[in-house]
């Protein structure tokens, strides 16, 4: 899965999940430009790694089904680890964020909405 970096310091990367879709046993991040391994973790294999898909993120944020959705990451209240990217829904000044626990954030720098 491709994950956008949210700022100048955050590089885009690929999130690679190992194992079956409903039984992930590992996850790694690979820099999108260089392909270098930048992080990894072992998982227990008891469920999926990413809990929230684009469709559910749109529903939780209350946006239209055709709203642009992309995985992204920057260290913020929505996620402290690039292994857990969040959904950015919309564009420009009208963006909502949904983390992997389903919490909706109207801003990455303020309290959640």
- Decide if 61 is inside a domain: yes
Structure tokens at 47: 């469920």
pTM over 0.95: no
27 contacts: CB under 8 Å, gap ≥ 6: 15, 16, 17, 18, 40, 41, 43, 49, 83
For residue 63, pLDDT beyond 90: yes
pLDDT, position 96: 95
pLDDT, position 42: 98
- Print the domain residue range for 48: 2-105
- Decide if 110 is inside a domain: no
pLDDT, position 111: 53
User: How many structural domains comprise the chain?
Assistant: 1
For residue 51, pLDDT beyond 80: yes
């Amino acid at each position: 899965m491709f994950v956008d970096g949210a700022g100048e310091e955050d590089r885009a990367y690929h999130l690679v999940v190992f194992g079956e879709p409903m039984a992930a046993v590992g996850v790694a991040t690979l820099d999108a430009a260089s392909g270098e391994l930048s992080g990894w973790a072992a998982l227990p294999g008891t469920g999926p790694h990413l809990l929230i898909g684009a469709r559910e993120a749109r529903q939780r944020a209350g946006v239209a089904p055709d709203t642009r959705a992309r995985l992204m990451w920057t260290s913020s209240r929505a996620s402290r680890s690039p292994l857990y990217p969040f959904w950015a829904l919309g564009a420009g000044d009208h963006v909502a964020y949904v983390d992997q626990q389903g919490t909706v954030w109207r801003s990455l720098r303020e309290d959640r909405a």
